[in-house]
Structure 1
Amino acid sequence: MRTVTIGVSGIAETQARLSAAFRGEKQGAFISFASVEQLWTVMTPRRWTLLRALVGHEPQSLSALSDRLGRDADEVQADIDALAKAGVVERVADDRVSFPFDSVHVDFTMGRAA
């Protein structure tokens, strides 16, 4: 099973993972956002539902996703564009959308406000 962690990490944490990877230490798959606010701006409830429709499945077409979600194709396309821009999903051959993971782990820590 291939799991991706979606979370919030600062530059220092990201650099530490990168350094460890260069040393040959396995890091797993990460999709990181710079802040909790950015995470929630990109990952809206409808986009989580879209992502859920892709988890563990072969790449899917826009029409298949729209039908499966019961949503307008233009709205689904806008969500795909936003997720692709953020590096969450990929467009692959035949204009299909891919999310090559079997599960998603969401991880972030929120501290005291300044």
Structure 2
Amino acid sequence: MISDLLRISFETPELLWQTLTIKLWEILKAMTGCGVLSIREVARRVNRDMKAVHGDIHALLNAGLLKKSDDVVLFPYSGIHVDFMLQAAA
């Protein structure tokens, strides 16, 4: 089941990119709106080695961004909205 947008807030852009690396972001982008996918299919969609994608999938599962059932994974949101605040140094 695909639900509304996932909303995540970060205090800094650095924290955003520490949490969602470019490789993880590419996986989420490739999975958005696609329903359940095998890890092999995710690897094919991002044109990466399945072993490396497997590790990244587990990082996304641990972060609570993906759901897993048997041998398939799901990004259960229709999209991602990310906020962070950029302010002058104190």
Q: Normalising TM by the smaller chain, what interval?
A: 0.7 to 0.9
1:47-83 deviation line (CA, Å, top 9, x unaligned): 1110011111111111111112111011101111111
Q: Which residue does the alignment assign to 2:79?
A: 103
**TM-score scaled to structure 1, two decimals?**
0.67
**Quick one: which of 24, 28, 36 aligns to 1:51?**
28
Structure 1 consecutive aligned stretches of length 4 or more whose deviation exceeds 2 Å: 35-39
**TM-score scaled to structure 2, two decimals?**
0.83
Q: Which residue does the alignment assign to 2:45?
A: 68
- The structure with more helix, counted as a fraction of residues: 1
Bigger-Rg structure (1/2): 1
Higher relative contact order (CA 8 A, sep 6+): 2
Whether 2:57 is the aligned partner of 1:80: answer: yes
**Are the counterparts in 2 of residues 42 and 83 from structure 1 also a CA contact under 8 Å?**
no
In structure 1, the gaps of 5 or more residues are: 10-34
User: How many equivalent residue pairs?
Assistant: 88
Structure 1 residue 36: Cα displacement: 4.2
Question: For 2:37, what is the secondary structure of its paired residue?
Answer: coil
Q: Which residue does the alignment assign to 2:10?
A: 8
Structure 1 residue 90: Cα displacement: 1.9
1:19-60 deviation line (CA, Å, top 9, x unaligned): xxxxxxxxxxxxxxxx54332112111111100111111111
Q: For residue 62 of structure 1, what is the amino acid of its counterpart? A: I
**Are the counterparts in 1 of residues 10 and 82 from structure 2 also a CA contact under 8 Å?**
no
In structure 2, the gaps of 5 or more residues are: none
Percent of matched pairs sharing the same residue: 35
